[in-house]
Amino acid sequence: MNASRDNDFFERVWAVVDRIPCGKVTTYGHIAGYLGARSAARTVGWALGAAAGTLLPCHRVVNRFGALTGKMRFGGPHVMEERLRAEGVTFDENGCVVLEAHLWDPSEETKDTY
């Protein structure tokens, strides 16, 4: 990808992240797939890293198992989990989000502008 494409992709990722409802999570892969780049889940992670410190609800993006892989970007190892728990998100005995209860799939909405 070139710099212009990266910026465009990052902006598209941020637009999807901005729509994740409170109390729900999505995965890097779901975002990448929704944007037509299924193999770009890692690039979604880079886009979220670039959004650190913004008001985007990046804490609502987890890995495919529901693990909090981005938690160190939130000012401490427990901040991401605390934010999700405050929104009513539940976790299993392994510390992963219960995806069956909280997964939001952006592809279930219309793709008007993305």
> What number is the average pLDDT over the span 76-85?
92
Q: What is the pLDDT of residue 47?
A: 96
pLDDT class for 74, splitting at 50, 70, 90? confident
Q: Which residue has the higher pLDDT, 53 or 91?
A: 91
Domain spans, the chain? 3-105
CA R_g for the chain = 13
C-alpha–C-alpha distance, residues 26 and 96, integer Å? 13
- In the numeric block, the tokens 């901040």 are attached to 79
CA 80 to chain centre: 12
What architecture is the 3-105 domain classified under in CATH?
Orthogonal Bundle (1.10)
Name residues whose C-beta falls within 8 Å of residue 101's C-beta, 6 or more positions apart in sequence: 90
Q: Which DSSP category does 32 fall into? A: H
Active site residue 58: yes
> What number is the average pLDDT over the span 7-24?
97
C-alpha–C-alpha distance, residues 79 and 86, integer Å? 10
> What number is the average pLDDT over the span 2-21?
87
pLDDT digit string, tens, across residues 20-72 = 999 999 999 999 999 999 999 999 999 999 998 899 999 999 999 999 998 78
Closest to 17 (Cα-Cα) out of 46, 75, 90, 81: 46
Q: What is the pLDDT of residue 10?
A: 97
Catalytic member of 58, 61, 80, 84: 58
